[in-house]
Structure 1
Amino acid sequence: MSSVRSRLVQLAILVAIIAIAPLLVPSNYYLRVMTLIYVFGLAAVGLNLLMGFAGQVSLGHAGFVGIGAYSVALGSVHWGLPGLYSVVLGALASAAIAALVGRPILRLKGHYLAVATLGFGFLIALLITNEAGLTGGPDGISVPRPVVFGWRLRTVEQWYWISGVALIVGVFIAQNLVASTTGRALRAIHDSEVAAQAIGVDVAKQKLKVFVVSAVYASIAGSLLAFCNGHITPDSTAGFLRSVELVTMVVLGGLGSVLGSVLGAAVLVLLPQVLTVFHDYEHLMLGLLMVLCIVILPTGVVPSFAKKFASSGA
């Protein structure tokens, strides 16, 4: 199957799932859960561009989710900005901050890069928490639902479709980015930065570019999360555990697989809902299942099954 055809098939599958799912679920609760899958899937797709294709680790990516979420909250509550303008403001702020901090951070490699991004995430979370007069502190802040063409977007169904369309657009852009010369440069950097530089790739520029792009993805996901929930807190947006969840989604779905990021988000959002029957052992069972998945499918769910399917077809 050609690369273009493969991308179109993957996108068609995603569109079909988003279009058909509302017809199959019995209540709005399930639409709410699927909305969260699409929101976190969007953030995971952006992070996979950074980790899976460029090979750069980020343990503080939830910081950009927090920037996007609090941009729409502060824009609506304190500055009187319309919802769409606040989303754009958050994306621009995330891009600017990513460009600023990315230059020194992305010079680091391995554990040093992971620690540096971790510190950035902690810094954003602490800033949001400590500026209680502006952000509401640990208790968070309420986010007014936006008004578009005179309609206030407040229902679960509306945010289901908005987040679904946002995910489709995000996946489409990511697929085309991966297939472009930039994507080939990122894969070269992932394999060997020295070799990539030897063939003329501007390593520093390409790493910074994908870092900014992934930050914008996370920021838009954060803005959608804020509008969907109607209330945000530092832990629910920019907390360390949120960063760990995003990394887990990428690794579980498959590094270097755009659609795998969405599947990883689906697994990590759905599993806690399923495991509530275990009550006190919910987190233990979640951790155990995650470890088993990584051990059995070390390259991630989508790449592992794709490899087995290809080998069986051969």
Structure 2
Amino acid sequence: MRLNSKWVQIAIVAALIALLPLFFPSGYYYRVGALIFVNALAAVGLVVLIGYAGQISLGAAGFAGIGAYSCALAPELLGIHPGLAAIGGAILSGVIAAIIGRPILKLKGYYLAVATLGFGILMTLFLTNEREITGGPDGMAVPDLGLRGLLKDMGLKLSGGEFWYFFCGIVLVIGVWIALNLAQSPTGRAMRALHGSEVAARTVGINVARVKLQAFVISAVYASIAGSLLALQNQFITPDVAGFMHSIEMVSMAVLGGVGSVLGATLGAVILTLLPQVLTVFAEYEQLVLGAIMITVMIFMPQGLLPSLARRLKGRGE
């Protein structure tokens, strides 16, 4: 069985989602699981941008903020269903990414990182200062998605935690499937060629600017959907969803597990979402422990946890 097989990776994610509830001691863990899936979806989006195309972004949380506030504002101002608002937020994020990506993606390295960081900061400032629209730092309520009631009418009764666990899990499986299909497509191969060398990619006829923009837009849509799911399940949102630290968390998840691997990024999301829950008894040292783990992994496993472990296991097998 090859771990890098598309269907094997999808099967692993789907099986874990289906089987984990068998070991949950209480309903609280459904909520934690749903949060893991939301974070994993955003991390998978960063795999496309950073892992496939080699472009650094510290502004993913800005697009998560667009998705989250779309679910809050569109139903209130336009009277549309929250689910349609989430789709609209993803489209809006894609359009904004396409517009700002053209000038930003001409930059490279840390210049690109700072430019994307600037976008995230602008989003946070807008959401914080426009009190009449967004509620400011106090945030605003998000309408209920309404699907639980529909499922109940169909005879399927789920608690709030159970519903969001399986709903976010299904969305994550779809996101993983799309990302893995993209990796094997001509566009995905062009992204990987770009990651290896822009000069070589341009030499063989790849439109470098277009491929960069495609990766940026796809990553923005993933982040937007993750933000929408977070807002819908919490039914409340604040500007923190678009904050700098949220962007850092997303990138850390992708890098820790293996930014070139969809399954690795998912693993990174699991670890960095669960660790704060585990370390609650050491609340004063939580950030210290998380930082030490990141440093250790980057020193001894620079490719990320999953790719490094897979390579070592393969070496032993041979």
**Aligned counterpart, 2:15:** 16
Pick from 155, 163, 171: which aligns with 2:168? 163
Query: Is 1:277–2:281 an aligned residue pair?
Result: yes
Specify every segment of 5 or more residues in structure 2 that has no aligned partner in the other structure, as ranges. 152-157
Pick from 177, 184, 193: which aligns with 2:189? 184
Pick from 237, 243, 246: which aligns with 2:247? 243
- Residue 76 of structure 1, CA deviation: 2.2
- Residue 2 of structure 1, CA deviation: 6.3
Any residues of structure 2 matched to 1:285-296 within 5 Å, and which? 285-296=289-300
- Residue 149 of structure 1, CA deviation: 8.7
* 8 A contact 1:42–1:218 mirrored in 2: yes
SS of the residue 2:272 aligns to = helix
SS of the residue 1:151 aligns to = helix
* 8 A contact 1:255–1:299 mirrored in 2: yes
Question: How many aligned residue pairs are there?
Answer: 312
Any residues of structure 2 matched to 1:211-250 within 5 Å, and which? 211-235=216-240, 237-250=241-254
SS of the residue 1:78 aligns to = helix
The alignment's TM-score, normalised by the length of structure 2, stands at: 0.95
Alpha-carbon distance in structure 2 between the residues aligned to 1:302 and 1:78: 45
Moved more, 145-154 or 106-115: 145-154
* 8 A contact 2:148–2:163 mirrored in 1: no
Letter aligned with residue 308 of structure 2: S
Alpha-carbon distance in structure 2 between the residues aligned to 1:33 and 1:289: 21
Alpha-carbon distance in structure 2 between the residues aligned to 1:289 and 1:257: 19
* 8 A contact 1:58–1:114 mirrored in 2: yes
* 8 A contact 1:68–1:222 mirrored in 2: yes
- Residue 96 of structure 1, CA deviation: 0.4
- Provide the aligned C-alpha RMSD in A: 1.6
- Residue 154 of structure 1, CA deviation: 7.3
Alpha-carbon distance in structure 2 between the residues aligned to 1:244 and 1:262: 16
Letter aligned with residue 187 of structure 2: T
Alpha-carbon distance in structure 2 between the residues aligned to 1:40 and 1:131: 27
SS of the residue 2:223 aligns to = helix
The alignment's TM-score, normalised by the length of structure 1, stands at: 0.96
**Aligned counterpart, 2:134:** 135
Moved more, 293-302 or 172-181: 293-302
- Residue 259 of structure 1, CA deviation: 0.7
Specify every segment of 5 or more residues in structure 1 that has no aligned partner in the other structure, as ranges. none
